Amino acid sequence: MSPEESEAAAAANAADLAAAHDSALAELGALKAQVAELTDQSLRAQAEAQNARRRADDEIAKIRKFAVESFAESLLPVIDSLEAGLKIDSASAEQLRDGTEATLRQLLSALERNKVVEVNPPAGARFDPANQQAISLVPSEQEAHTVVSVLQKGYTIADRVLRPALVTVAAPK
């Protein structure tokens, strides 16, 4: 190979290297831009997830606050009735009883509107340990494991036991 050919080959080689270098630099620039874009997208997604979590927490706090507010609001007429009854100095026993019964109806209605349900099984009903608590087994003519009497009513709220009914249960014969 002649010196001119060697020189031409070296120049072509240098040109190829320069082109490859320029191409690599262009690809590096494109990759850096893509990394910056993906990093930005990732940061935005994280911020959006944090905002969604915060909004959900705020919404849960509001729901709890207003649920209690609604329950308290439904009890206000009961308070009003009790206070009105206490203001009457010369009420007869019959008037006091009537007022107390009316106030109890108001209270039961308020509880019912808020999904608080009474658990008061009738005598002879099958004992249910899910919402009743047996205080004692007593001899009875009834079938075994049935309710003989209710010592204290129970209550549930939205199918969840607040307080089990306290019952006596017929003992096996």
Q: Report strand pairing: 116-119 vs 154-157.
A: antiparallel
pLDDT tens track for 31-63: 999 999 999 999 999 999 999 999 999 999 988
pLDDT attached to residue 100: 94
pLDDT at 70 over 90: no
| Mean pLDDT rounded to a whole number for the chain | 93
Q: How far apart are CA 106 and CA 36, in angstroms?
A: 65
Which of residues 15 and 168 earns the better pLDDT score?
Answer: 168
User: What's the chain's length in residues?
Assistant: 173
Q: Residue 91: its pLDDT value, please?
A: 85
Say if residues 21 and 14 touch (Cβ distance below 8 Å): no
Tokens of 162: 């607040």
Share of the chain above pLDDT 70, in %: 100
**Euclidean distance between CA atoms 40 and 38, whole angstroms:** 5
**30 pLDDT more than 90:** yes
The answer to whether 146 touches 167, Cβ cutoff 8 Å, is no
pLDDT digits (tens, 9 = 90+) for 114-157: 999 999 999 999 999 999 999 999 999 999 999 999 999 999 99
The confidence band for 68, taking pLDDT boundaries of 50, 70 and 90, is confident
How far, in Å, CA of 141 to CA of 12, rounded? 113
